[in-house]
Amino acid sequence: MSGARISALATLRGQIERIETAEVVHRQGRVALGHAEVDSALKGGLARAVIHEVFCEGRQGAAATGFVMGLAGRVSARRPLLWVRQDFSELETGALSMSGLAELGLDPRRVVMVRAADVESALRTSADALACDALGAVVLELWGETRQFDLVASRKLTLAAQSSGVTGLMLRMAAQPLPSTAETRWMLRTAHSPPGAMWSAWGAPRFDAELLRNRHGPCGRWIMEWKCDECQFSEPSAHPQPVAAAPAHRPDPAFQRRAG
Amino acid sequence: MIHALDDAASRLGLYIGQPLANARAMCPDLKVFDADVVADAKTLSDIADWCDRFTPLVALDPPYGLFLDITGCAHLFGGEAALLQTLVRALARQGFAVSAAIAGTSVCARTLTRQASGTIVADGAEAAAISRFPVSALGAGEAITTGLRRAGLKTIGDVAARAPGEITARFGARFSTLLAHALGQGDAPINPRKPLPDYIVEKRFAEPIATDTMIAMTLSRLADTLIASMEKQGKGARRLEAAFFRTDGAVRAITVETGRPVTKSAVIDRLFRERLDALADPLDPGFGFDMVRLSASRTEIVVQEQRDLDANVHDNDELAALIDRIAARIGGKRVVVHLPQDTHIPEHAVLAAPAQHHLAVAMQAEWPARAESEPPLRPLRLFEKPEPIKVPFATVPDGPPHQFTWRRALHAVVRVEGPERIAMEWWRQDGRQLTRDYFRIEDAEGLRFWIFRDGLYEGEVFDADGKPVPPSWYVHGLFA
């Protein structure tokens, strides 16, 4: 009897080990966002192969979309991005515009959009997509509180993401944060453009990002800017963007980061 | 008026086109039903669906007829006589009055059904078989039939005995062609309802199957066979159709499309599983299916690519397969990629096209480059229909508003950039042609809007008296 027990225990230990090593393997993949404080809070950057949640109030939908798009752009690294959205959110905050996406410095060619009619088919599609390792990231955009997205559904997505190495990003507009298996959870608000002269170029995406939950580090609240030219986040610039055009042959941003 | 009648009624001397009152006078206890042409057509089409089990080439011959091209099919059913018997019996069991005949040409077979149901005419014997029938059986129309009878030509044999030139001169070329076809000289091609699929495999069951597992198993076996036969010719399927023939005659066809040719039976299997899973009205086996058919209605030659070394090819294949699966589940139009369009009207600048067919094009598309070190000039979220906002006043007539009400909430304008004037495309004549002045706006909360004034101030919008009216304002998009 005890022999059977021991072997059962050994099997379980093996299973746990496998689960944990799988996590560790994927943990290595972290992508720096470009904002020093945020990156240090995230222990080097946004983890791949897990689920991240971004919440916002209803009227802040566009800001949260921009933030999620930025995360997806950083994480997916030139691989295709599957954006799953519910019909209803298009009525509320407008459709994701590819011209706008291009203006953020991201590549509209890599975006495949799935127009799901309801939450169930959206969830099912994203679980399917997260299991496909050809993708860089899967974004699931849901509007309002949803009964269907519970702990079980969230766990399913996390497992799919772990096994394939694809990152899942949940954009939850007009919803309250609930317990889930997400690696990080953000609350997004828009931030004012920095004050400047009337003629200065204002209007670059600026986010007031609050990290509500971080499974492997501290939480916090930062102002983050999205640099459209460099395709990364940064600390808020005290001064508005330069009026003169930046030199065409900029050094590689990654190299710059290492040097500074 | 009588639209149709059965054998008993025609024996009483009633005829089609007779006023109902006259018919009632002849036969007081006549049973009358309202004619429903649409339902008749539907029934005929349903029967045609059912007839698909005998041959893929089934053509409608309205209002009551069907042509089946059984060339090369009859031996599968035990010969022509057995096929005819099976078909007539099965339809008669469902309560239809059927007359059927087999002949070398469609016109001859149709003539036979009107006079001698159940006849099978060997090739070359058409003229002999129909010569004794009256000319009305040809179905050439009232005028020609009467004309022939007046000329003393009572039977088809009589007409056939005349020189073709005489017939053509008197009754026209169309009739002489019809006659030639009926006599087995040349044939009018039938017009099948569906194009002939490139590959067909099917399985018939002695005992009808009804369980999901059996259906799934049958489909995957059929997929294996289909793939095997396509592989020999280096083809892959782009469009697949599974038809389920129920014992009671109902036929349900389910189609899946793929973005690139499929060459693996597992893929077909999975696509159909997704599709069957997501059907709004699930497959109802009733008393069971006695036949399942899988056909590839569109195929393409497969180009073999080097797969193992190039990770990109692998990724693209995986992505295409994922798109196919999602499309099978929720519909092909719901999975889209985006193509830039050559226009400066914001709402038309991007075209969403089905990803299954346009993935490769979209991946290579040329998008306009953004201006470096500028903030985004186009919003990230764009409303399909611009939403009206209330603007109380503007300090300068041409300028931006100080505050506006959108969705019943007041927004105070803190920063403005603009206007960016977008004139409509005068060379396209569709609808209103008002010039739009767009402004980028940031409100007190930090929300960034893209709003526009529809029409120039005091320049484009007029009321009935020709006086200028202040143009209306809209919010078109939201910046991140």
| Residues comprising chain A, all counted | 260
Give the H or E element holding residue A9: helix A2-27
Q: Do A96 and B380 touch (CB under 8 A)?
A: yes
Q: Tens digits of per-residue pLDDT, A3-16?
A: 677 778 877 877 77
Whether A205 contacts chain B with CB within 8 A: yes
Whether B351 contacts chain A with CB within 8 A: no
Alpha-carbon span A233 to A119, nearest angstrom? 31
What residues of chain B, 383 to 422, have a C-beta less than 8 Å from chain A?
Answer: 383-384, 409, 414-415, 417
Of A212 and B373, the structure prediction assigns the larger pLDDT to A212
| End-to-end C-alpha distance for chain A, whole angstroms | 62
Q: Tens digits of per-residue pLDDT, A135-177?
A: 999 999 999 988 888 899 999 999 999 999 999 999 999 999 9
Closest CA in chain B for residue A65: B480
Residue B107, token pair as written in the block? 């016109």
Average pLDDT over residues A217-245: 79
Going from N- to C-terminal start, the domains of chain A cover 27-192+200-237+251-259
Among the residue ranges A16-20, A224-228, B209-213, B262-266, the one predicted with the least confidence is A16-20
Q: Is the pLDDT of residue B18 over 60?
A: yes
Among the residue ranges B58-72, B180-194, B301-315, the one predicted with the least confidence is B301-315
Residue B273, token pair as written in the block? 């599983």
Predicted complex ipTM exceeds 0.90: no
Torsional sign, CA B136, B142, B144, B148 = positive
- Count of pairs with CB atoms under 8 A, one residue in A, one in B: 200
Whether A104 contacts chain B with CB within 8 A: yes
Of A66 and B2, the structure prediction assigns the larger pLDDT to A66
One DSSP character per residue, B93-119 reads HTT------B-SSHHHHHHHHHH-TT-
Of B292 and A250, the structure prediction assigns the larger pLDDT to B292
| Closest approach of B479 to chain A, Cα-based (Å) | 6
Identify the pLDDT of residue A222: 94
Whether B360 contacts chain A with CB within 8 A: no
Average pLDDT over residues B457-470: 78
Q: Do A203 and B318 touch (CB under 8 A)?
A: no
What residues of chain A, 6 to 45, have a C-beta less than 8 Å from chain B?
Answer: none
Q: Are B376 and B479 in contact (CB under 8 A)?
A: yes
Q: Do A202 and B362 touch (CB under 8 A)?
A: no
Identify the pLDDT of residue A246: 46
Label residue B260 by pLDDT band (50, 70, 90): confident
What residues of chain B, 364 to 383, have a C-beta less than 8 Å from chain A?
Answer: 364-365, 367-368, 370, 372-383
| Closest approach of B52 to chain A, Cα-based (Å) | 34
Q: With 0-12 CB in 10 A as exposed, 13-18 as middle and 19+ as buried, what is A12? A: exposed
Listed in sequence order, the residues at least 6 apart from B300 whose beta carbon sits closer than 8 Å to its beta carbon are B235, B236, B238, B261
Query: A-chain residues within 8 Å CB-CB of B480?
Result: 62-63, 65-67, 69, 100, 104, 190, 205, 207, 226
- CATH for the A27-192+200-237+251-259 domain, from 3.20.20.70, 3.40.50.300, 3.40.50.2300, 3.40.1030.10: 3.40.50.300
In whole angstroms, how large is the CA radius of gyration of chain B? Answer: 34
**Domain spanning B199-328, CATH class:** alpha beta
| Closest approach of B411 to chain A, Cα-based (Å) | 12
Q: In degrees rounded to 5, what are phi and psi of residue B221?
A: -65, -40
| Closest approach of B275 to chain A, Cα-based (Å) | 13
| End-to-end C-alpha distance for chain B, whole angstroms | 70
Q: Tens digits of per-residue pLDDT, B170-216?
A: 888 888 888 888 888 887 788 888 888 889 998 989 899 988 889 98
Whether A165 contacts chain B with CB within 8 A: no
Q: Tens digits of per-residue pLDDT, B276-296?
A: 888 878 888 888 898 999 999
Going from N- to C-terminal start, the domains of chain B cover 36-182, 199-328, 381-479
Q: Are A75 and A69 in contact (CB under 8 A)?
A: no
Q: Which residues of B48-73 are buried (b: 16+ CB within 10 A; e: fewer)?
A: bbbbbbbbbbbbbbeeebbbbbbeee
Q: In degrees rounded to 5, what are phi and psi of residue B318?
A: -60, -45
Which residue, chain included where needed, has tokens 């093996």?
A14
Closest CA in chain B for residue A81: B319
Average pLDDT over residues A16-41: 73
Whether A133 contacts chain B with CB within 8 A: yes
Whether B281 contacts chain A with CB within 8 A: no
Q: Is the pLDDT of residue B151 over 60?
A: yes
Average pLDDT over residues A115-133: 91
